[in-house]
Amino acid sequence: MGYEWGGGLHASFGSSSSCGTVILLSPRQAGCATRVETDHEGRLVCILFKYPQGNISLCNVYAPNRPSARRDFFNTLPSFVPGSAPCVMVGDFNCVPDSGLDRLGASVSASPDAGITELDRFTSAHLLADVWRRIHPCSTVYTWVRPNGEDASRIDRVYAPVSFKFSGCETLSCPLSDHDTVVARFVLPSIFPIGRGLWKLNCRILGEAEFRQGFETRYKGWQTLKPAFASTSQWWDNIKLRIKRYAIQYCVTRARRRREKFSKLCAEVKFGDPSAVIALQSISMKSTTVPASGPVSKRWKPRSALH
């Protein structure tokens, strides 16, 4: 297929009978692809492109049919998508944002739109808009129709940053598939906006007794909150935010204490306290940054062992 296409081809292959996602690139765009992320089940391909005005990622997804698997799949999206680069996401999401507008008939699944909350969380974090719905706020269209015509839904969509200028979006019948094609048109900005990125835990604090003791105490209290949530998964989503806040608070407090200790030792070194030199050296060897200039730099210089 890649030979026939003539451009770039990046795919995530599933089994011989199911799954599989692919992104085709024109020869001009193929040279701009700098990183490719895929899963092992054939459900996701994500490419990071580098342009003069900034980076942008393009993702093609095929969400699972099973409700629980679909929720888990959407929860893993952040691990594949760069947090700071604008993202365009397309594919078969197997759920719809608005059952009243995007679905016809009864679904065979007990939870036809399971996973939409997890997907909305991702699109909100990346400031993405459903391009077709943004252009057609009250219209109805379906990209998949059951052969008997009794069920239909708009499960195939294109999401793009709200900062992009959308110029059009329509669906086209595709004779080689039971899904219609979704074509979206938008103008890239002259400079891509950069998001806040993804927060990552500083894993080194896991080895610190003070952090572990504080976490254990808090976690015991968090466990008592389970009855207040409809499910364990909702409780865990809440707990993850609490863990993040605690870790940030801990690191901020730890950094402040280290700065205060460092400033105190610098003052003692300035007045010729030899024990302060040893203590300051110990801090430096633990990867605390020593300023290139300041009170200590004139009287004490790290030796080669500290370089």
Given a cut of 90, whether residue 159 has pLDDT beyond it is yes
- Residue 228 is predicted with a pLDDT of 86
What percent of the chain stands above pLDDT 90? 38
Q: Where are the domains of the chain?
A: 2-187, 203-306
Given a cut of 70, whether residue 232 has pLDDT beyond it is yes
Question: What φ, ψ does residue 58 adopt, rounded to 5°?
Answer: -125, 125
pLDDT tier for residue 254 given thresholds of 50, 70 and 90: confident
CA 134 – CA 166 distance, rounded (Å): 9
- Residue 234 is predicted with a pLDDT of 83
Given a cut of 90, whether residue 216 has pLDDT beyond it is yes
- Residue 116 is predicted with a pLDDT of 92
Specify the higher pLDDT residue, 276 or 117. Answer: 117
* Range with top average pLDDT, 99-108, 123-132, 256-265, 286-295: 123-132
- Residue 170 is predicted with a pLDDT of 94
Q: Which residues of 271-303 are buried (b: 16+ CB within 10 A; e: fewer)?
A: eeeeebbebbbeeeeeeeebeeeeebeeebeee
- Residue 73 is predicted with a pLDDT of 92
Each residue's pLDDT tens digit, 61-85: 999 999 989 999 999 898 888 667 8
pLDDT tier for residue 197 given thresholds of 50, 70 and 90: low
Domain 2-187 has CATH 1.20.910.10: no
- Residue 299 is predicted with a pLDDT of 36
- Residue 176 is predicted with a pLDDT of 82
pTM over 0.95: no
Average pLDDT of the residues of the chain:
81
- Residue 281 is predicted with a pLDDT of 61
Q: Find the mean pLDDT for residues 198-206.
A: 83
When mean pLDDT is compared across 152-156, 198-202, 285-289, the lowest value belongs to 285-289
User: Residue 25's beta-bridge partner residues?
Assistant: 8
pLDDT tier for residue 257 given thresholds of 50, 70 and 90: confident
